[in-house]
Amino acid sequence: MFKEDTLSTKTVLITGGGSGLGLAMAKGFAALGAQLLICGRRLEKLEAAAKEIDAVSSAGKNTAFYSVDVRDYEAVGAMMDKIEAGFGGCDVLVNNAAGNFLSASEDLSPNAFKSVVDIVLNGTFNCSQQFGRRLIDAKKQGSILNIVTTYTETGSAFVLPSACAKAGVYAMTNTLAYEWATYGIRVNSIAPGPFPTEGAWTRLMPDPKMEQAYLKQIPAGRYGEHDELANLACFLISDLAAYITGECVTIDGGERLKAGQFNFITQAAPREQLKQFFRMMKPGKN
């Protein structure tokens, strides 16, 4: 459904764009003609990522990269000033920078909780307001895409800081979508399920047995491919989605649906055996 020039009019800034899902989205955008800007804290990682992005750019555009801590409001503003000077600003902001780890909630230190909230929630605010203010002042339209999670509404054991922070980002998405629609700024989010990345996966799935148990809870029977997430992000930031705002799209192979009362039965026995059991339970069979 995409062409090589689908995003050719877009200049896109991705926070945490040097690795993982941020890098995957960056490559997807570049392949459709976008001008890419990525930021993160490690300059060497960003430089290497920029080369990967440039290699797939359909328009031959060079990726710009900025070392910045999204927790620092003034530093984010200084980066936005550089982007304005170099590119005339940007049209799209993807808030992807995040932090997460497993911990029993009773063992969390205040600093551990704060570190995740500062990156995910405060960082998203810092980038969104600095970005939004510039669009509003220039009377330009644009869009923001926030990466949230499938447990924003339900919460999730052992990732309390992430659950709280991502829930805040989800609320921010809806709030800004309504408030900034008058300026022509769209704000949407994606809630990814399991998309393995080298960094996050080693922290969240340290034991192969844990990973095997987790995989059994995904109805699709597999993890997500990075290109699948990138394709969804491409659509949401493109003009093909011009009337979509305040929307959160879940992409998780059906994982979130496991909350159903009898979903556990899918793991109790092979499917044909379950069907035979169900037939035996029908009225008139006993």
Give the pLDDT confidence score for residue 203 in this predicted structure. 66
Contact 236, 244 (CB under 8 A): yes
Concatenated DSSP letters for 87-135? HS--SEEEE---------GGG--HHHHHHHHIIIIIHHHHHHHHHHHHH
User: What per-residue confidence (pLDDT) applies to 286?
Assistant: 46
* pTM confidence score: 0.91
Tokens 């031959």 sit on residue: 60
Residue 138 contacts by C-beta under 8 Å, 6 or more apart in sequence? 89
Catalytic amino acids?
151
Question: What percentage of the chain reaches a pLDDT higher than 70?
Answer: 91
- Ranges of residues in the chain with a pLDDT under 50 are 285-286
User: How many CA atoms does the CB half-sphere of 248 hold within 13 Å?
Assistant: 22
Nearest to 177 by CA among 242, 130, 244, 229: 244
CA distances from 106 to 158, 159, 166, 168, 281 (A): 10, 11, 20, 21, 44
- Cα–Cα nearest to 218, from 255, 260, 262: 255
Quick one: pLDDT at residue 30? 98
